[in-house]
Structure 1
Amino acid sequence: MVIEPIPFDLQVACEDVVELLSARADEKNLPLILRYAPDCPRRLIGDAGRVRQIVTNLAGNAIKFTHEGYILINVECTGLTSDKAAVRITVEDTGIGTPQHKRDEIFKKYAQADAHISQQYGGTGLGLAICKQLVELMGGSIGVQSREGVGSRFYFTLFLPLDKQAAPTPKPKADLAGVRILIVDHSPVNRQVLLEQVGSWQMRADVAGSSAEAIQRLREAAERQDPYAITLIDDQMPGVRGESLGRTIKSEPGAQNTLLVLLTALGQRGDAQRAVELGFSAYLTRPIRQSELMDALATVWSAHLKGEALGLVTRHTVAESRETSVLLEAEAPPVLGAKVLVAEDNFVNQQVALEILQSFQCEVTVASDGVEAVDCVRGRPFDLVMMDCQMPRMDGFTATREIRKFENGGKRIPIIAMTAHAMKGDREFFLDAGMDGYIAKPFDLDQFGEVLREVLGQA
């Protein structure tokens, strides 16, 4: 056997395995769940094909020997240096388990846990022996923890160099930080994995394990005047389908405005249309990759902020949108790392400006009034300030004058006014006020692109 190290994305490799095996798991009504720890590096150097082979074999065995419960592929980093990551991949199941006296033999060729089990389920054959050989060829170690009748954990650890030439990990197309989301799923493992995922995008998340608990949480949030912006619902809830829960939520006072996203493992013809009729914003079939979920949530949230009518978001529309984004990025002005301050008191306008500027790969800071804007400029350097004209405590014109005083003839920061009342001749007015131009609300991608090209000189 030969090991061929190449740069690869470990999370994508594990997602490939889940996609490959999901049909087998669905046949037994077993959730096949991937948990990729947020602090685990994704871009590494190793033999991606061999890693997939090992995970596929371990997860395939887990499905074979499990009647009910779940299969969890858990990827975490157990050690990190400037050059390498120690990555531990565990495949956990709730299957039949392995007797204590057989565990030391299980990685040997043709070894079986039990002759009766081999007849009933079929054996692991050479699979586990080959897994052990491959792991050791890559300088790692493999082992098993198991309780008969409870389940097993097969785990292996690899020490993989970091891919330092990799592009940055993609960020959401819309800023999800601070967005409130309720996760409704009867599986504790699913809830925990989803909670960790959305938490890594800085979303404010709560969970509910039943439809009754979900309704209660939605009511409590409405009473606190802190409603959930998005509710993510598993379609296979015991006693009630996710679709039915969605209908109930839409009739619940104080919860009608939450954006509904349905996750289902058993998509069938006509389901998507029914989801639209019930008021769902997105309909996503499992297994769903983390990037797909992130993009789907960002898409429905972005459309909501902009007040845009949006058709049902699916994995297909997310893929199409990603292709379009690649084309837009090719046309976008190369302002990578430009530091932009957005001074704006309206939350919706903040989010729209933030999303558009981040799509141009700018580093964005938000100030909620003129006083904060002046303090920000005094505290750190910016390449550009986008200044709303009408703000509490200090308006944009006064803030601009304060910034110009602070500069005192030194390096001049470009300041662009953002106004909802632009009229012919206003450009001269804004220039006289010490600003360098203006854009009219509502904002759009082209406006910001022109400003960045003109003001930052990065055409």
Structure 2
Amino acid sequence: MTTLNEPLEILQIIEAGADFLFLKEFEQGALSAFINDVLKNKTLVDQIRPKVILKSIYLGDERTLSTSDQQLLNLLLSTYRSALQAYQRYYHFKFEFNKLQKQLSHKNSANINIDPTLLNSFISEFRTPLNNMLHLIDLLKTSNDQQEREIQAQLANINTDYLLTLLNDLQKAIDYQLKGEPLPVSEIEFNLRDCIEDAVSPFVIKTGEKQIDLTVYIAPDLPFFIKSDPNYLKHLIFYVLDLIFLNLEKCSLLLEAIPAEEGQFQINFTFPKNEKLNAMFSITNNHSPLAFFEYYRKNLKYKIQLKEAEADQQRIEALVPFRKAEDRSEIQQSDLSNIRVLICSDQWMSGLVLEELLKQWAMKVKVCNDLKKLDAFLLQAKQAGQPFQVLIFDARPNEDAHFELLKQIAFSDQYPKPEIILLTNFGKPGDAKRSLESGIAAYLLKPVRSRELKKAIQAVLSKSKPDSGLVTRHSLKEAETPFRILVAEDNRVNQKLMLSVLKKSGFEVELATNGQEAVEMFK
């Protein structure tokens, strides 16, 4: 039994001929470094022969396997690493969150005048990403599929990043409120599409759990870059989505950003009528949606209201003021022009949004809204001498009949096989494996980011698929060519901090422990 504070301690354990290995309480971050070193050390991996049991008082979890199969050992270590990192992060956030709540409670007891509206909304935002983290930890501990674990670990990182941002914003809001000042509004230049998609990303897991088909539409005539406060905008989008997800399930939800009057754009959330939501909009205390929207109206000049929409739909509309940024629209360099693509979606709005997005990349697009006619579309395209090169299949939440349908298409000899991209909600264990068996080229979770979809199309057409054979959001990120950074630092704690921050940002990092070593590595 050992704490494994140093990675090389496992060598001593193996040399001693130990048959079992138990992990006690350890220094934070040491186990992650240890496992990384083990997996990278080929000599060490080749030496491992005894049966290994990994156990942690943090996870309350025990894993046993024979290491005669090296692939299973790597599987265990990587699963354990991912679950442990996520669990540590969760408790770090929980500790910081409780500390902030106590601080706020103490100041309130001192009769300091604090407007709780924004703080209450920040606190409520913690629920969704924290629940996501716990759900992902459970999945990571039980998953036996490498690709699914990679996707789950990446989703954990997304929720981690959101929590970090939220903690910083909450602390900043408390600091200003304690001084009797409102949280300032910052006008900075930012990418509007990235801001909206970042706010939506923590709901990827919830769309599967609640069986809500979330479609995000960003009008192409909106500027890519605007001047406003991106944090306030992100919090508004998250707050409204969280409100809807708490009260609805098994439905469709449309989030659209469209042009409005000069100096404004409009964000609409359209969803089925719901009595619980209507009741919440009649409450006027500090925790109510009306109080939150009033804060935005008073401090940011937003105009937010609940309206009746067509049929049995309701819509929350938000008019957002902004100023134009410098003309720096994203460069639309694309090698997708004239690529023939078929979109199959029996949800007309989702199909329409995908069609407009792909046409921005100069692709030749057809949409099939009836699954029964999908085969006929493919046959007609072949007979016209223009077979589809890509098939994007938009699956409904919590359904899996599409796997058999797509398998028939992938292995049909009636027409050239298109590269199949499956868009699906966060689903059941084994979906990635079933995608491979069904001849699917790419497996992406909804709501899919526009850049992610574009890169996936480019990947499947270039045949530059990952070793696993399936393109996922994880493989797309791994395929990016990172900037290389050389870090010279002799302090072990600072080394860990800098490596963690830079690697999370996508950089490839080399570490030198002193100046002389840095000079030699730079040569």
TM bucket (normalised to shorter chain) is 0.5 to 0.7
Q: 1:255 aligns with which of 415, 423, 427?
A: 415
Partner of 1:319: 477
Residue 280 of structure 1 aligns to a residue in which SS?
coil
Which has the larger share of helix? 2
Residue 158 of structure 1 aligns to a residue in which SS?
strand
The amino acid of 1:319's aligned partner reads K
Does the CA contact (< 8 Å) of 2:258 and 2:265 recur in 1?
Answer: yes
Does the CA contact (< 8 Å) of 2:270 and 2:315 recur in 1?
Answer: yes
Q: 1:18 aligns with which of 196, 200, 213?
A: 200
Report deviation, 1:289: 0.9
1:130 aligns with 2:292: yes
Report deviation, 1:12: 1.4
TM-aligned CA distance change 1:18 to 1:139, over 3 Å: same
Report deviation, 1:128: 3.1
The amino acid of 2:454's aligned partner reads M
Q: How is 1:245-394 mapped onto 2 (pairs within 5 angstroms)?
A: 245-303=405-463, 311-324=469-482
1:90 aligns with 2:268: yes
Does the CA contact (< 8 Å) of 1:31 and 1:71 recur in 2?
Answer: yes
Report deviation, 1:98: 8.6
Does the CA contact (< 8 Å) of 2:188 and 2:229 recur in 1?
Answer: yes
TM-aligned CA distance change 1:228 to 1:237, over 3 Å: farther
Q: 2:307 aligns with which of 116, 129, 145?
A: 145
Please say which of residues 214-223 and 314-323 is displaced more in the overlay. Answer: 314-323
Aligned counterparts of 1:36 and 1:148: Cα–Cα separation in 2:
20
* CA RMSD of superposed structures (Å): 3.1
Residue 319 of structure 2 aligns to a residue in which SS?
strand
The amino acid of 2:358's aligned partner reads V
The amino acid of 2:269's aligned partner reads V
1:169 aligns with 2:327: no
Q: 2:190 aligns with which of 8, 20, 30?
A: 8
Deviation per CA, 1:373-419, whole angstroms, max 9, x where unpaired?
Answer: xxxxxxxxxxxxxxxxxxxxxxxxxxxxxxxxxxxxxxxxxxxxxxx
TM-aligned CA distance change 1:266 to 1:256, over 3 Å: farther
1:242 aligns with 2:420: no
TM-aligned CA distance change 1:202 to 1:58, over 3 Å: same
Deviation per CA, 1:61-118, whole angstroms, max 9, x where unpaired?
Answer: 22233343211110012245xxxx421111111132699xx89x9487339xxxxxxx
Partner of 2:360: 200
Aligned counterparts of 2:273 and 2:241: Cα–Cα separation in 1:
12
The amino acid of 1:286's aligned partner reads K
Deviation per CA, 1:347-376, whole angstroms, max 9, x where unpaired?
Answer: xxxxxxxxxxxxxxxxxxxxxxxxxxxxxx
1:50 aligns with 2:50: no
The amino acid of 2:368's aligned partner reads A
Residue 372 of structure 2 aligns to a residue in which SS?
helix
Does the CA contact (< 8 Å) of 1:142 and 1:157 recur in 2?
Answer: yes
1:35 aligns with 2:193: no
The amino acid of 2:223's aligned partner reads P
Does the CA contact (< 8 Å) of 1:142 and 1:156 recur in 2?
Answer: yes
The amino acid of 2:274's aligned partner reads I
TM-aligned CA distance change 1:60 to 1:48, over 3 Å: same
Residue 265 of structure 2 aligns to a residue in which SS?
strand
Unaligned runs of 5+ in 1: 112-124, 328-459
Aligned counterparts of 1:34 and 1:317: Cα–Cα separation in 2:
23
TM-aligned CA distance change 1:10 to 1:34, over 3 Å: same
Partner of 1:222: 382
Aligned counterparts of 1:300 and 1:253: Cα–Cα separation in 2:
20
Count of aligned residue pairs for this structure pair: 302
Aligned counterparts of 1:260 and 1:309: Cα–Cα separation in 2:
17
Aligned counterparts of 2:391 and 2:197: Cα–Cα separation in 1:
24
Does the CA contact (< 8 Å) of 1:96 and 1:148 recur in 2?
Answer: no
Does the CA contact (< 8 Å) of 1:235 and 1:243 recur in 2?
Answer: no
Aligned counterparts of 2:469 and 2:446: Cα–Cα separation in 1:
20
The amino acid of 1:231's aligned partner reads L
TM-aligned CA distance change 1:184 to 1:148, over 3 Å: closer
Does the CA contact (< 8 Å) of 2:217 and 2:254 recur in 1?
Answer: yes
TM-score calculated relative to the size of structure 1: 0.59
TM-aligned CA distance change 1:286 to 1:159, over 3 Å: same
The amino acid of 1:312's aligned partner reads L
Aligned counterparts of 2:212 and 2:366: Cα–Cα separation in 1:
24
Does the CA contact (< 8 Å) of 1:303 and 1:310 recur in 2?
Answer: no
Partner of 1:330: none
TM-aligned CA distance change 1:135 to 1:20, over 3 Å: farther
TM-aligned CA distance change 1:308 to 1:127, over 3 Å: closer
Partner of 1:156: 318
Aligned counterparts of 2:315 and 2:203: Cα–Cα separation in 1:
18
Report deviation, 1:252: 3.2
Which has the larger share of strand? 1
Deviation per CA, 1:138-170, whole angstroms, max 9, x where unpaired?
Answer: 23322221269923111111221122175x425
The amino acid of 2:307's aligned partner reads Q
